[in-house]
Every structure is written in structure tokens, then in C-alpha cells.
Amino acid sequence: MFKDFAESSVEPPSDVCKECGTPKQIGCSHLTKLNNSEISDTSVQIARERLLEPFHLPTHAEIMKAFPSYDDWHKFWEKNHIFELWNKEYISALVDYLADRVAKLGKLRIVEIGAGDGKLSRFIELVAQEKGLDADFEMIMPTDSNKWVLNDNISVVKESYEDAINIFRPNIVLSSWMPPGQDWTKTIRQFDCVKEYILIGDCTNCGDLEQTWGNFNFEEPFHVDSFEREVLLDLHRLQISRGDVFAHHNVLGTNKTHPYSWTVAFKRV
């Protein structure tokens, strides 16, 4: 595991719950002393179903409260082909990070590769509009080698990741939960238009640990191509993913100082 990805050795900051690592301003079951008896089965089921709605972006606390027990949490991930549950706080922090990059990169041309259902790109676009930052985003284009369409209002462009970058010429590439055993980053770095790419997911199961994420070898693959890595810890602490179940047995359990999924930026030097 990466040195700067240290988990167990890191003491949770004072502004997060020591049980699960959730920022106190967000709230969680430990901080609010949520009791299973306080929520009816019907309300929990409705809350859980809302998480699957294509245009609904829940808060971090809303997600946590939808799963009062480990069984509820485990069954949800087993039933639904989802890797990460996007939440308002995470998307807002990601939009702020991207907007800060405008000073360095100019207006943002963002292509999401392997976008699946396109939710991530859609939520970035919506939150950027809400924040009045949409002028900073020239383009946010979700692409995938398979056509996934949530409805008529969300289209994912059917292109391979190589063709998508070549066609749309982005300055930032997003990749969430890259397929295991595949490394797309070497190809991404060969496009001069790409000044940064951002990886989201579990570094042990997305892409290739060494080639995609880097594992502190003498010559990291991204260093060879003149990129540097930045772990976005403020975003990482807001993430909720299916890996939390397998890594920590219960997303609401103890001794969980960090989520399982990461957000890491690689920037051209």
C-alpha cells in the first residue's frame, strides 16, 4: 500500500468521527446516535430506493442513514451493480477542486472515460451550475465503450477511452473504477492535450496497482512520463464505496478511519 495512503497509522482528525471517519459537519450514525428503532422499515426502504434514482444526489448522512445494519448494506451492494455512491459533499468538493485548476489550465475540457451510466459527469455539471461555476467548464463529456443511457436527458457517448480522448481533446480526464487488471493511464499520458487525469476507486482492484497508481518504485510509470501524483485526501474522506463492506466488514463499524476508495490526481509537470 502507498506510503501517503496510510490508514491504520493515521490518527483521525479532531473534526471527524473517530468511529467511521465521517466529517462532523456531515454527520453519521455515531455522531447522531442513530438507533435502528428510530427509523421504520418503510422509510429506510424508500431512502434506499432514492439512492438509485438517476437525478438524485444524496447527502453523505442520507446514505448512512439508509443502512441501519450491516445486512442492509451488504445486500444493497450485492444486488446493485454500483461501485461508488456519489454524495453532495464529495461532488461539491470535487467541483471546487476542478474550478481551482482553471487558473493553471484555463477553461476545463473534461472527458470521463469508462463512465458507465454517466452519473458522475452529470452530477459534476449540475453542482457546478448550482455553485455558479459552470462558466469554468467548457465541456464535461461522459464516454464509455458500451452505450449506457439512463434516460433521454443523459447520454453517454459510445467510444473507447483512446478514441474519446482523441476526439474531444480534453485537458482533464476522469476515470472512476477502472476495470481491474487494465492500465489506461499509459495511453492517457501520451496525449499532449491531457494536462491532468484523476483516478477514483480502490487502488488494489482498479487498473494495475503498480502501473496505474504507482507503488513507490525507483521510477514510477507516471514520473517517467513527466507527471506527478497528488492524493486528494479531503475528497477521499467523503467517499462511500462497495469496498467499505469488504475492507471494514461494516461501513458503520469501528476502527474505520478512511473509506476504501481514493481520489488521486496526476498532473503533467
Tens digits of residue pLDDT in 125-159: 999 999 999 999 999 999 999 855 555 556 899 99
Confidence band of 259 (pLDDT split at 50, 70, 90): confident
**Which residue ranges form the domains of the chain, and what is each CATH number?**
3-79 (no CATH), 88-243+260-268 (3.40.50.150)
172-189 tens-digit pLDDT: 999 999 999 999 999 999
185-198 tens-digit pLDDT: 999 999 999 999 99
Angle between helices 88-100 and 119-130 (to 10 degrees): 70
Beta bridge partners of 267: 196, 228
Q: Is the pLDDT of residue 4 over 80?
A: no
Confidence band of 35 (pLDDT split at 50, 70, 90): very low
Asked which of 33-42, 115-124, 154-163, 210-219 is least confident by mean pLDDT, the reply is 33-42
Confidence band of 14 (pLDDT split at 50, 70, 90): low
pTM, two decimal places = 0.82
Q: Is the pLDDT of residue 1 over 50?
A: no
Confidence band of 19 (pLDDT split at 50, 70, 90): low
* Residue 40 φ/ψ, nearest 5 degrees: -75, 155
Q: CB-based contacts of 46: which residues, under 8 Å, 6+ apart?
A: none
**Is the separation of the CB atoms in 143 and 111 below 8 Å?**
yes
d(CA 19, CA 6): 17
Res 231: pLDDT: 94
57-78 tens-digit pLDDT: 999 989 988 988 878 888 898 8
